[in-house]
A and B are shown apart, each in its own frame.
Chain A
Amino acid sequence: MAFISDAKTFRSNSRLWVFWKRNGRCHSCGLHIRMASTQKLKVLVMGGTRFSGLYLARELALSGHQVVLFNRGRVPMENMKIRGETEEQFQIRMSNTRWIKGDRTRVEEMMQLLGKEPWDAVFDNNGRELSDSKPLIDGLGHSIQHYIYMSSAGVYKDTGLFPHVEGDVTDPQSRHKGKLDTEDYLRQKSDVPFTCIRPTYIYGPRNYNPVEEWFFQRIDQDRPIPIPGHGLHITGLGHVEDLAKAMVLALGNPQAISQTYNIQGRHSVTFDGFAKLCAIAAGKDPNKLKLVHYDPKKAPKDKKMFPFRPNHFFCSCAKAERELNWKESWDLVAGLRDSYENDFLEKKKRNAISMDFSMDDQILEWIKV
């Protein structure tokens, strides 16, 4: 099953023939370089300190753009260093990165701060409701080249046909209604050049959502993995770095204006298969993994029990591949290993992993009965 090789070559978007190893190092000069096929832009990133914004900020800086982050300043600068970056590389790209301290929930203040200078592009990464993003769209949208909105594949309606593609019907009742409202608002605004990005599950080092971590915890402790349903549900995931790269490829790309793109890996995976891939990433034998299936409708309920909902949920990103000339550089095997080695193990060392298996024990007990 683990068929993807270790060494992957990443082909940059530009017309230059530069091949990258996974850590993005140029073979000859050792520096992190990205060949930007677009002009250098002054880019405002809302947030940019947590997960997808973090990698986005880095990709933008490496592509030669001037990056300005707008956030509350809760995350110290040194925490923005990403695994694999040397101190020197980090400093170089941070010299292209500025920070405006502010709170996006304090709208008037925010617009005052942001209104002081012109922007070429805005990445709205952490808006949930239309009310979060409307002030930005209304205030800045007409004067910028590109407004890129982080939406979610959760807006798609489940019609029994998969994978989700960009033209599919959306669900006004979905949990991501706010994202859908914001997308629709952008579509209405004829003077705002926008792109919407719909990822499925994002994973990778620094994931604050315990997706892969949930599995690593149990695998690490050699515990059985309780899986709701039959384990054959298909879920789509994408590595955070690939998502960041797609977003940078969309930036300034005339073909991307007014378009929506699904972003995730080429392959999606069953729940059972994902558990086994996590075991492989952790260097353990996937065949020794104990997968325990249970009926989620009848079992004791806890929202945080399992990271995926027991439904098929995956997309095709063929449109992004075609129009943005984007390709994943992290397949699931390599990507999960990246997350395990560079995040889980490191967190475990500093005792930052919660090893609370009380819900698991409840379920396992309940199954026996």
Chain B
Amino acid sequence: MLSSHAFIPNTLFVTQFKKFPIQTKSRKLDSLQLTCSGIVLNTKSGGHAFVGYYLSRSLQKQGVKVTLWNEGFEEELQRSQPFSYYPELQSLGADILFSNSAIDTLKDRVKNCDWIVDNFSKSVETAKPLVELAMQVGVRQYLFISSAGIYKASSMIPHLEDDPINSHSPISETEQFLLSQNSFAATCFRPIYLVGLKSAKTSYTDYFFDRIVRGQKVPIPYPGEQLVSLSHVEDLVRMIILSIDNSKAFQQIFNATSGKFITFEALAKLCSQVCSKPLHMFCYDADLSSETFSLFPFRNRHFTADPRKAQQLLNWNSSTNLAENIAEMFAEYLSQQKDKRNISFHEDQQLKEIQRV
């Protein structure tokens, strides 16, 4: 069974190609260089919040004009990363806006823009006004940051783009909604866990750092050999940039992961090496403690996806180097004095009691 988005019959592709002519001048073949302008719609929290920052930074450095809209209030958001780094983007020439409605803020402000990157929508309802905006502005391409979380859990790994998905999840409905639009070509990206400096969500590594630096045992869901995908945010950003105005990316869905997976246990060991402190771990039965212990930052299953389609179609390659990336994040952790915070670990304690550790 191939789900409908995965296979574009030749005739449909030809039609799509005709509808969305590439402005060939705007892209040098196989290059990250673009000359068209666009809008990035950014979410205010969570693991994807820093995508807007890195994407805008890369594009502005190339001389591409970016309007970076963020949901929320500037005063509030700028107190923490990644938004605290936005002045850097401004000095590069990006137009940065904050509000609670993208369409109201942007509809008269941006004209003749070529693409939109939607790192914001979580449902068809939120996407609808943005699609309206896209049509008003007349973009050729709408790029959506989806999630590999929509894949149905399976004993077969890694996820590939034609694997079955939970078609009724709001995010997969959003993908379908965007791919079915007639006025622009859509491209969807399915990342898993994103790492890197300046993230709004640092729990993927803080969970380990917090415990290791304090000599606390690290609870890991049994058996600890679950495979998880951690990818540097720049991998996703490069994939997006390679997709902009690239007809090979039109109406396509791409897994946006580094392609290499690590077990929970190996990740804990890597963090302990980076912290230069010994690792003490214990495995817990997640079924027994799913209500009382919610701190473990990853889904308790193999959660992996393969990016060979992006490698093949976009000539994209990963630059994730987990050892280096995690070392950087630990340096950031220390620079923010997170190792000096007072943490009670009472949930850990409860867990130990329940599991009789």
Contacts and interface: CB of A to CB of B under 8 A. Distances in A.
Interface of A: 1, 3-5, 160-163, 165, 229-230, 232-234, 266-270, 272-274, 276, 312, 316, 318, 321-322, 332
Interface of B: 1-2, 154-158, 160, 163-164, 222-223, 225-227, 259-263, 265-266, 269-270, 302, 306, 308, 311-312, 322
B155 A318 contact: no
B155 A321 contact: no
A1 B222 CA distance: 23
A322 B314 CA distance: 12
B262 to A, nearest CB: 6
Given A229-B223, A316-B306, A318-B308, A160 B263 contact: yes
Contact of A267 (B160, B263, B265): B160
B156 A269 contact: yes
A272 B308 contact: no
Given A162-B227, A230-B225, A232-B302, 18 more contacts: A1-B155, A5-B1, A5-B2, A160-B262, A160-B265, A160-B270, A162-B262, A232-B225, A267-B157, A267-B160, A268-B158, A269-B156, A312-B225, A312-B227, A312-B263, A318-B259, A318-B306, A322-B308
B155 A276 contact: yes
Given A273-B156, A318-B311, A332-B156, A162 B225 contact: no
B308 A321 contact: yes
28 contacts: A1-B154, A3-B1, A3-B163, A4-B1, A5-B1, A160-B269, A160-B270, A161-B260, A161-B261, A161-B266, A161-B322, A162-B262, A163-B158, A165-B259, A229-B223, A232-B223, A232-B225, A232-B226, A233-B225, A234-B227, A267-B158, A273-B155, A312-B227, A316-B308, A318-B259, A318-B308, A318-B311, A322-B312
B269 to A, nearest CB: 7
Nearest to B159: A267
A332 B157 CA distance: 12
Contacts of B223: 229-230, 232
Contact of B156 (A161, A162, A165, A268): A268
A29 B218 CA distance: 65
Contacts of A267: 156-158, 160
Top 7 nearest A-B pairs by Cβ distance?
A273-B155, A160-B266, A318-B308, A267-B156, A230-B223, A270-B155, A269-B156
B222 A230 contact: yes
B83 to A, nearest CB: 33
B1 A234 contact: no
B199 to A, nearest CB: 21
Contacts, number: 80
A200 to B, nearest CB: 14
A3 B152 CA distance: 11
A321 B227 CA distance: 23
A102 B210 CA distance: 66
B142 to A, nearest CB: 28
A270 to B, nearest CB: 4
A163 B227 CA distance: 10
Nearest to A331: B156
A163 B259 CA distance: 8
Contacts of A274: 155
A163 B304 CA distance: 10
Contacts of A270: 155, 157, 302
A160 B323 CA distance: 12
Contacts of A160: 262-263, 265-266, 269-270
Most chain-A Cβ atoms within 10 A of its Cβ — which of B154, B156, B160, B322? B156
A268 B305 CA distance: 12
A325 B103 CA distance: 45
Nearest to A4: B1
B160 to A, nearest CB: 6
Nearest to B323: A161
Contacts of A3: 1, 163-164
B261 A162 contact: yes
A190 B1 CA distance: 47
A332 B302 CA distance: 18
A301 to B, nearest CB: 20
A202 to B, nearest CB: 18
B313 to A, nearest CB: 10
A99 B26 CA distance: 60
B283 to A, nearest CB: 10
A57 to B, nearest CB: 30
B265 to A, nearest CB: 8
A276 B155 CA distance: 10
Contacts of A268: 156-158
A162 B322 CA distance: 12
Nearest to B2: A5
B117 to A, nearest CB: 26
A161 B259 CA distance: 10
Nearest to B163: A3
A320 B354 CA distance: 49
A184 B347 CA distance: 52
